[in-house]
Structure 1
């Protein structure tokens, strides 16, 4: 996407910029209803109604009643050399860059032969220091603030938002509650829920289920079939029902692990510190009891069943009914 020189101090390295991510969105064409006629977007002169060629189009800035015309080459001329230069201004600790600043990710690769050592040296030094290089550069008539990082043996470039692009949440949300008062029991139950739902970060476990359902919808319409509609969203939880909703959520999160798992968990909470030997026995029993899992499937919602099917890589799950999901999960187990 871009080629230039990466430099810090007097060290310079020719690099190429590569797209790091891809989109799997299902794309549609626009058609006139009742026909197979494509709808096209054209560049049309709003005064004459005639189509205009791309080469005859210039940029115009509205200066209050009249336009200031700017040619594309004039934008390139005001940034001489910078469009081919990626110069690091300094290095910061990675933890100092808040997540809200990160935008898109790109790969950086060495360009040309004989620069592998310089590239590897920069990657290793950044990895060991745990820092990111902060720089600016111009690409496609836009200037970007970027962070250069070392990740798994290669250099990555992350475009960042400018500071004045970050909106103040207090200006955007007029009803922020601040730290609303919560009872000690409610806070403790919320912490238990977080603990019960804690997991390892495994990105491969998650899939774009909406795009899968869009693909299944297209296949069903081709075959003249219908697709089951999604379940309605859950109702908002009011303050009156908060404690009961938290308790039920904790029970549900712990439930699939064992029959009577909540009682065992409660018992462990009451006997914490009273002897490790007594705690390990119910824990071991809880983990080996797998028979109730098949019975528990019938009590789960379709959304929960679909999550389990996705984790088990059940084929064709996107167009299964609730009963199909239960049956497929039983066979998978």
Structure 2
């Protein structure tokens, strides 16, 4: 049974729902001890008084800051006293559309569960109402001595709580990219080919298809060394694409994406359809009488136009 890491209540309007907070994820990263190189001697960390050199017990350590040459210390009990709501309430102050929150704000996910069976009714009421309206509840609460901005959202069977970064904690990407980020604009042809690649590689989000292959390789590395075998080196990462070769790299990528699309269909084309804009492709599809063209992605349009064109050429050759 997962361990409850916080107990309190969700408040929205005049409704209060007692809940517990549980971690929604678990870390499968391989844990290593530390040893001195060439020995089997473990390395341990100790809390040491820098003036006396003596080890200090955990209960004898307090938090503090130096202000104007004075050290001001603070006990945990004092932090708990000033915590909003005594750290026991998640007060929803407003509801917003989930799509309005930039993913950069999301930090960590927790599950919320009612503390008793009698509170499942108001819990499910809030969950279903938010699910039907695609709204999330914005609230603040205190966990382990830190106040968090949170988004309470509805999943299919439970309420989730996402801790969010405050606005002043989000760095402006412009400070990182500088002026070069906005000045290096791609050409229309490059953008068209890049769009074709993305559409060709599009698919549904199925998280089960993705595995932590790095952790598996680390486990294999440890196992091989334990058996006295030399570990197998991985392939070197690809070299950065030279700006001069960008168009050619895009062209090859388009060809590769086409080959792998739709069961790696091959279609003989008398022209390179990637040279056409999507509007031109739609016009060509209209001329060929292709149904459902308005709902097709660019990659699907290219396939349909190519297939219809090749079919027309085959009929023309038979007639001649």
**TM-score normalised according to structure 2 size:** 0.82
1: CA distance, partners of 2:82 / 2:57: 26
**What SS does the corresponding residue of 2:154 show, helix, strand or coil?**
strand
| 1:57 corresponds to which of 52, 56, 61 | 61
2: CA distance, partners of 1:279 / 1:133: 45
2:30 counterpart residue number: 26
C-alpha distance after superposition, 1:187-216 (max 9, x if no partner): 211111111111111111111111111011
| 1:272 corresponds to which of 260, 285, 294 | 285
Task: Say if 2:80 and 2:86, in contact at 8 Å, map to a contact too.
Answer: no
- Which aligned runs of 4 or more in structure 1 are off by greater than 4 angstroms? 261-271, 277-283
**What SS does the corresponding residue of 1:178 show, helix, strand or coil?**
helix
Unmatched runs of 5 consecutive residues or more in structure 1:
286-333
Q: CA deviation at 1:259?
A: 6.2
**What SS does the corresponding residue of 1:235 show, helix, strand or coil?**
coil
| 2:264 corresponds to which of 242, 248, 258 | 258
1: CA distance, partners of 2:268 / 2:254: 8
| 1:73 corresponds to which of 63, 77, 80 | 77
**What SS does the corresponding residue of 2:243 show, helix, strand or coil?**
coil
1:113 counterpart residue number: 117
Label 1:139 to 1:264 Cα distance change in 2 as closer, same or farther (>3 A): farther
C-alpha distance after superposition, 1:305-330 (max 9, x if no partner): xxxxxxxxxxxxxxxxxxxxxxxxxx
Alignment of 1:230 with 2:234, yes or no, is yes
Q: CA deviation at 1:279?
A: 4.3
Q: CA deviation at 1:80?
A: 6.0
2: CA distance, partners of 1:244 / 1:211: 35
1:85 counterpart residue number: 89
Q: CA deviation at 1:222?
A: 1.2
Task: Say if 1:254 and 1:262, in contact at 8 Å, map to a contact too.
Answer: no
Aligned residues: 284
Alignment of 1:98 with 2:111, yes or no, is no
2:150 counterpart residue number: 146
Task: Say if 2:84 and 2:141, in contact at 8 Å, map to a contact too.
Answer: no
| 2:209 corresponds to which of 205, 212, 215 | 205
Task: Say if 2:139 and 2:151, in contact at 8 Å, map to a contact too.
Answer: yes
Q: CA deviation at 1:255?
A: 2.0
Q: CA deviation at 1:234?
A: 1.2
| 1:12 corresponds to which of 16, 19, 26 | 16
Label 1:119 to 1:30 Cα distance change in 2 as closer, same or farther (>3 A): same
C-alpha distance after superposition, 1:162-186 (max 9, x if no partner): 1110111122333542153333222
Unmatched runs of 5 consecutive residues or more in structure 2:
292-302, 311-320
TM-align CA RMSD = 2.4
2: CA distance, partners of 1:166 / 1:279: 45
1:130 counterpart residue number: 134
**What SS does the corresponding residue of 1:177 show, helix, strand or coil?**
helix
Write out aligned runs for 1:173-252 (5 A). 173-174=177-178, 176-178=180-182, 180-252=184-256
**What SS does the corresponding residue of 1:225 show, helix, strand or coil?**
coil
Q: CA deviation at 1:141?
A: 0.8
Q: CA deviation at 1:113?
A: 3.1
Q: CA deviation at 1:267?
A: 6.4
1: CA distance, partners of 2:145 / 2:285: 62
Label 1:81 to 1:192 Cα distance change in 2 as closer, same or farther (>3 A): closer
